Amino acid sequence: MVPQDLLYTESHEWVKVEDGTARVGITDYAQKKLGDVVYVELPDVGKKVKRGDVVVTVESVKAAESVYAPLSGEVAEVNRELISSPGIINQDPYGKGWLIVIKLEDRGELEGLLDPAAYGKLVGE
Amino acid sequence: MEYIPHTPADIERMLRAVGVEDIEDLFSDIPAEIRGRYEPLGLEPSPEPEVRRELERLAARNRRLVPFVGLGLYDHYIPAVVNELASRSEFYTAYTPYQAEISQGTLTWMFEYQTMICELTGMEVANASMYDGGTALAEAILMARRAVGGDKVLIPRSLNPFHREVVETYCRGAGIGVVEVPYDEEGRLALADVPPGTAALVVQQPNGLGIIEDLRGLKERLGDAFLIVSVYPIALGVLEPPGSFGADIVVGEGQPLGNPLSFGGPLLGIFATRREYVRMMPGRVSGRTVDAGGKEGYVMTLQTREQHIRRERATSNICTNSALCALRATIYLAALGPEGLRRVALLCLERAHDLAEDIREIPGFELALNGPFFNEFAVRCPDPERTVEKLYRRGFAVAPPKVAERMGLPDAFLVAVTEKRSEAELVGFLETLRG
Amino acid sequence: MGTIYHRGKRGRRATSWPETVRPPEELLAYIPEEARRKGLPWLPEVSQVELVRHYTALSRMNYGVDTGFYPLGSCTMKYNPKLHEELARHPGFADLHPLFPEEAVQGILELLWRLGALLKGIAGMPGITLQPAAGAHGELTGMLLIKRYFEARGELERRKVILLPDSAHGTNPASAAMAGFKVVPIPSNEHGTVDLRALEERLSEEVAGIMLTVPNTLGIFERDILRITEMVHEVGGLCYFDGANLNAFLGRARPGDMGADIFHFNLHKTFSTPHGGGGPGAGPLAVSEPLLPYLPVPRIVKEGDRFRLAYDLPESIGRVHPFFGNVLVMMKALAYILTLGDEGLREVSAGAVLAANYLRVRLRDVYAVPYDGLCKHEFVASTANLGVKARDVAKRLIDYGFHPPTVYFPLIVEEALMVEPTETEPLETLDAFVEAMRRIAAEARENPALLAEAPHKAPVRRLDEVKAAREPVLRENPPVSPG
């Protein structure tokens, strides 16, 4: 089931808008496709990102997948718990497995994201 | 053909199964125009006794001089047990250990090798080998730039000139500038300042002229830039490991660890770094884990760094490495143990210093540099070209004067002495110089 | 089984060495105090018999070509002749220092020169360098040559792009990136070959070159190869051929006649030198006329019956290896070519292609073969039609006594099994492999758990790679000494 309170990208990131910021993670579909996450490469807090930039790399044993910034802005928080326990992404992709929080630059960019119905359709749910 | 077992009947059966008339039909997808242009080599097949005779003729056309020459490759004694064990074909006819369950032999010795290299160099992690000491150094510089940025690398004037040439080729390709650091009258590194944009300082221990460097305080002067130390592994039996001086990467030529000179190849590139940089490190690594039944075993790990997964974003393009040479190094170090390694290093130290002492007493001869050395030193004399020629004629090889000259030391030739040089060879060498 | 560190005891030794004449303290005084090693490295302390038993036991946990069939796609795991191993130990080769004077090493220079000449003939190209130590090293050297070529023409600023089919081996993009090029992929068409329209769209004056594997990693020969190289040449680009798959057309066709500007050999694949558990290999590079001035130095030059080293290329990219490359590997390759002669070279490709096609037709009714049709020295099957993972089939093959094929490569085939039998396997072995593969397909339907838990007969069961990557343990740690 695709959570109904989030927005999505075609590259399988989810976005949760919380006043001026957006929490970002990868979807359940993405984590399953990737398999057991063994390592996460997080950006520094304060880094400026443009929509579409590679902002995080999530690795399994046999793949290194890029996570793209769904929105432009500044990295306000990173989930440091993932450094020692990357498996959280597999266990709870929409909750404790969040990756970063971005301070939004342009709320207009939210228009470009997929709603739950559209994303559900994309992944065949 | 002794290497192709297909009989005419076998070929017939396979052709029939495939549904073609004859072998040539299997190549019909290669444009006829291309096949038509093929020109044979004009080479008849040869049976084994003839191939052996021809290769032995080529071997006999070489003169086995007594090596008093080093520059990264040293003539150390190789215990019989190293040759014997490394010749087991389960080792040498295996591929890279991608199928871990039937590659535990390779994966286990890789893990042992990594441990031994860490112990020798004082570093926290080591890869399972690079091609040679020169390319290992070049890759270390590329890694330093990935880690700290910058656009230049500081290279000692006394760096092994053959490694330096490889480094320059790689750096030109990668757009990294090479800045030379001079040495003082003792032959030791004279680092004045560290220019902005420096990705790394390279130090060779002992350096290309044989001199033992003082590694103290270098890392502190570099700031974020990497300290890369290139080592002679046998010397680490008596020299403090670079890890103790804050080195970020240690590389080196591993041939002296149980590998023959082989006219300079195959060689063994040593590569070790600190744990925090392990994900930037090039090359394969073996890691310990457990199997489905909880039994200990080994796998290639951290593979997402490598080209077959990360492709153009990989830490390096390296795939095939120098595994068999690393196996020889592993067996060699296990055969020596800590005491054996120290003994070999002490024997090198003793024989080299005794010989240097004796050379110094020959009228007109002196050591070109007065810094401390391990087993290699530069000799200055009135006519070095002629002296080297004379040595060759008597069956002794030293590094020709042009090698020292490339490190800024004119009119000198380099002499290396290992524990393998016998009393008779040392006496003969001296007499040639005297005569 | 534990490592060598779990064997032995303090004070044991496997080798003996002469005493020094003077006491160690006196000798250590030659080293300045700050540089003197404080403690000894932690190394194993074992007797010789323990050492021998340990590495003998390890060797028995390995699988090599000498153990059995090794149909590892794109790796050409052919038989490694024993004559070569014996010759490699000859002191007339093994005990030569690369800084011996030319006069003392005429035999080895002759050997290298002859191998170079033969490889040029096999490639149909006028230039050669033997320095690269492996295929990927050859690729990097090739990329540096391309860079130098455009630099000399004043075009380096705009020639930024290397085109690469999506079926390419990972070393190709990594090598191009190391030389500072931007990699642009070209999709494959429904035949698994380069899509000419897609190629056309990507061609421009920004293209420095294309890297092709011939035949490609699906084992398919690019029928349009002449058109492809012509198109790249038309925009001023150069054509790099990855020679990993030379076994497919050895002695029958030459890259030089296909439009190649650079071609790397893998001596450890095509020319029977052993893989050594991962190396050393050798990756000599043949080049076309326009690239001759940029080859690495030194070159080996023949003058009458003498051989010398020449440093006469002022435009050279420089050295890529400290000395002459992996000479002992080259010695084995020369012995192999001399053994084969022209006739043998043709027999190699005939045997390799015949065996691959034989396996393809005998397996295609059970396993999917997505690009079915005449293949060269290898083909790619898929387990997707059986609903099982390629990995599980591979692991189950181990129980049948075979080394698995390459899995999950090329990336464009789902659940890929890439099978390369080589020419050195008896028909009975090929048949036994077919039999095993067919039985495994049946097991996949009847008892998939048997596959999922395989191997059952290897020294260890499936290993936990996730644990290895999450908590990397990359070395033994010394015991904490009591007190």
Task: Answer yes or no: do B93 and B138 share one domain.
Answer: yes
- Per-residue model confidence (pLDDT) at position C414: 94
Establish if B209 belongs to a structural domain. yes
C466–A39 C-beta distance less than 8 A: no
**From the CA of C167, how many Å to the nearest CA of chain B?**
12
**From the CA of B164, how many Å to the nearest CA of chain A?**
34
Q: In what side-by-side order are the strands of the sheet with C406-407?
A: C379-382, C416-419, C406-407
Residues of A in contact with B309 (CB under 8 A): 62-64
Question: Whole domain around residue B110: which residue ranges?
Answer: 80-331
Task: Answer yes or no: do C198 and C329 share one domain.
Answer: yes
Establish if B20 belongs to a structural domain. no
B236–C46 C-beta distance less than 8 A: no
Cβ-nearest to B240 among C38, C134, C279: C38
Establish if C130 belongs to a structural domain. yes
**End residue of a domain, out of B313, B331, B349:** B331
* Residue B254 contacts C, CB cutoff 8 Å: no
Q: What is the mean pLDDT of residues C348-369?
A: 98
Residues of B in contact with C163 (CB under 8 A): none
Sign, Cα dihedral of B412, B416, B417, B421: negative
Chain C's closest residue to B240, CA to CA, is: C37
Task: Answer yes or no: do B182 and B304 share one domain.
Answer: yes
Task: Answer yes or no: do C334 and C414 share one domain.
Answer: no
Establish if B106 belongs to a structural domain. yes
Question: Whole domain around residue A94: which residue ranges?
Answer: 7-112
> Where residue C389 sits, what CATH number does that domain have?
3.90.1150.10
**End residue of a domain, out of C320, C339, C358:** C339
Establish if A118 belongs to a structural domain. no
Task: Answer yes or no: do C206 and C163 share one domain.
Answer: yes
Establish if B90 belongs to a structural domain. yes
Residues of C in contact with A62 (CB under 8 A): 408
Helix (H) or strand (E) holding B199: strand B198-205
Low-confidence ranges of chain A (pLDDT < 50): none
> Where residue B387 sits, what CATH number does that domain have?
3.90.1150.10
- Per-residue model confidence (pLDDT) at position C1: 76
B284–C89 C-beta distance less than 8 A: no
Number of domains, chain A: 1
Task: Answer yes or no: do C275 and C152 share one domain.
Answer: yes
The interface predicted TM-score of the complex, written ipTM, equals 0.97
Say how many C-beta atoms besides its own lie within 10 A of residue A80's C-beta.
Answer: 10
- Per-residue model confidence (pLDDT) at position C479: 85
Establish if A75 belongs to a structural domain. yes
B304–A63 C-beta distance less than 8 A: yes
Task: Answer yes or no: do B350 and B259 share one domain.
Answer: no
Cα B80–Cα B82–Cα B86 angle in degrees, nearest 5: 125
Task: Answer yes or no: do B230 and B118 share one domain.
Answer: yes
**pLDDT one-digit tens code per residue, C202-240:** 999 999 999 999 999 999 999 999 999 999 999 999 999
Establish if A119 belongs to a structural domain. no
Residues of C in contact with B295 (CB under 8 A): 460-461
**pLDDT one-digit tens code per residue, C304-337:** 999 999 998 999 999 999 999 999 999 999 999 9
Residues of A in contact with B313 (CB under 8 A): 64
- Per-residue model confidence (pLDDT) at position C233: 98
Residues in a beta bridge with B177: B152
Q: How far apart are CA B73 and CA B163, in angstroms?
A: 12
Chain C's closest residue to A84, CA to CA, is: C470
- Per-residue model confidence (pLDDT) at position C483: 42
Tokens 């000399």 label which residue?
Answer: C152
Establish if C73 belongs to a structural domain. no
Say how many C-beta atoms besides its own lie within 10 A of residue C300's C-beta.
Answer: 23
Q: How far apart are CA B377 and CA B373, in angstroms?
A: 7
Chain A's closest residue to B313, CA to CA, is: A64
Task: Answer yes or no: do B84 and B178 share one domain.
Answer: yes
Q: What are phi and psi of B51, to 5 degrees?
A: -65, -45
Pick the closest to residue A112 from A1, A6, A7 (CA basis): A7
Q: How far apart are CA C314 and CA C64, in angstroms?
A: 45
Examine the pLDDT at C481 and tell me if it is beyond 70: no
Tokens 């700031």 label which residue?
Answer: B223
Task: Answer yes or no: do B307 and B380 share one domain.
Answer: no
Residues in a beta bridge with C188: C194
Task: Answer yes or no: do C329 and C422 share one domain.
Answer: no
Tokens 């022209």 label which residue?
Answer: C342
Task: Answer yes or no: do B118 and B216 share one domain.
Answer: yes
Examine the pLDDT at C349 and tell me if it is beyond 50: yes
> Where residue B104 sits, what CATH number does that domain have?
3.40.640.10
Establish if B30 belongs to a structural domain. no
> Where residue A76 sits, what CATH number does that domain have?
2.40.50.100
**pLDDT one-digit tens code per residue, B246-290:** 999 999 999 999 999 999 999 999 999 999 999 999 999 999 999
Number of domains, chain B: 2
DSSP B239: B
Say how many C-beta atoms besides its own lie within 10 A of residue C480's C-beta.
Answer: 6
Establish if C427 belongs to a structural domain. yes
Task: Answer yes or no: do C190 and C313 share one domain.
Answer: yes
Establish if B24 belongs to a structural domain. no
Peptide bond into C298 cis (omega under 30): yes
**pLDDT one-digit tens code per residue, B95-150:** 999 999 999 999 999 999 999 999 999 999 999 999 999 999 999 999 999 999 99
* Residue B85 contacts C, CB cutoff 8 Å: yes
**Can you give the three-state secondary structure of chain C, one letter per residue?**
CCCHHHCCCCCCCCCCCCCCCCCHHHHHCCCCHHHECCCCCCCCCCCHHHHHHHHHHHHCCECCCCCCCCCECCCCCCCCCHHHHHHHCCHHHHCCCCCCCHHHEHHHHHHHHHHHHHHHHHHCCCEEECCCCCHHHHHHHHHHHHHHHHHHCCCCCCCCEEEEECCCCCHHHHHHHHCCCEEEEECECCCCCECHHHHHHHCCCCEEEEEEECCCCCCCCCCCHHHHHHHHHHCCCEEEEEHHHHHHCCCCCCHHHHCCCEEECCHHHHCCCCCCCCCCCCCCEEECHHHHHHCCCCEEEEECCEEEEECCCCCCCCCCCCCCCCHHHHHHHHHHHHHHHHHHHHHHHHHHHHHHHHHHHHHCCCCECCCCCCCCCCEEEECHHHCCCHHHHHHHHHHCCCCCCEECCCCCCCCEEEECCCCCCCHHHHHHHHHHHHHHHHHHHHCHHHHHCCCCCCCCCCECHHHHHHCCCCCCCCCCCCC
Question: Whole domain around residue C51: which residue ranges?
Answer: 4-59
**End residue of a domain, out of C339, C354, C389:** C339
**From the CA of A121, how many Å to the nearest CA of chain C?**
23
Residues of B in contact with A64 (CB under 8 A): 304, 309-310, 313
Model confidence at C482, pLDDT cuts 50, 70, 90, reads: low
**End residue of a domain, out of B331, B350, B374:** B331
Low-confidence ranges of chain B (pLDDT < 50): none
Mutation target among C21, C61, C395, C471 for the B interface, most CBs of B within 10 A:
C61
Task: Answer yes or no: do C400 and C251 share one domain.
Answer: no
**End residue of a domain, out of C339, C364, C399:** C339
Structure tokens at C348: 């190699």
Establish if B10 belongs to a structural domain. no
Number of residues assigned to chain C = 483
Task: Answer yes or no: do C167 and C306 share one domain.
Answer: yes
Task: Answer yes or no: do C239 and C369 share one domain.
Answer: no
Residues of C in contact with B63 (CB under 8 A): 100, 103-105
- Per-residue model confidence (pLDDT) at position B363: 96
C465–A39 C-beta distance less than 8 A: no
Q: What are phi and psi of B313, to 5 degrees?
A: -100, 10
Structure tokens at B93: 């006819």
Q: How far apart are CA C126 and CA C291, in angstroms?
A: 10
Task: Answer yes or no: do B166 and B287 share one domain.
Answer: yes
**End residue of a domain, out of B331, B362, B388:** B331
A64–B310 C-beta distance less than 8 A: yes
Residues of C in contact with B44 (CB under 8 A): 341-343
Structure tokens at B177: 């500038």
Residues of chain A whose beta carbon is less than 8 angstroms from a beta carbon of chain C are 36, 38-39, 59-62, 86-87
Task: Answer yes or no: do B315 and B388 share one domain.
Answer: no
Number of domains, chain C: 3
> Where residue C158 sits, what CATH number does that domain have?
3.40.640.10
Q: What is the mean pLDDT of residues C50-73?
A: 98
Task: Answer yes or no: do B304 and B355 share one domain.
Answer: no
Examine the pLDDT at C190 and tell me if it is beyond 70: yes
**From the CA of C330, how many Å to the nearest CA of chain A?**
34
Structure tokens at B298: 């080994």
Number of residues assigned to chain B = 435
Q: Please, which chains are in contact with C (at least 3 CB pairs closer than 8 A)?
A: A, B
Chain C's closest residue to A60, CA to CA, is: C466
**From the CA of B145, how many Å to the nearest CA of chain C?**
12
Residues in a beta bridge with C210: C163, C239
**pLDDT one-digit tens code per residue, A88-111:** 999 999 999 999 999 999 989 999
Which residue would you say has higher pLDDT here, C258 or B307? C258
Establish if C153 belongs to a structural domain. yes
Tokens 């020709």 label which residue?
Answer: B400
C408–A38 C-beta distance less than 8 A: no
**From the CA of C399, how many Å to the nearest CA of chain A?**
24
Q: How far apart are CA A56 and CA A12, in angstroms?
A: 13
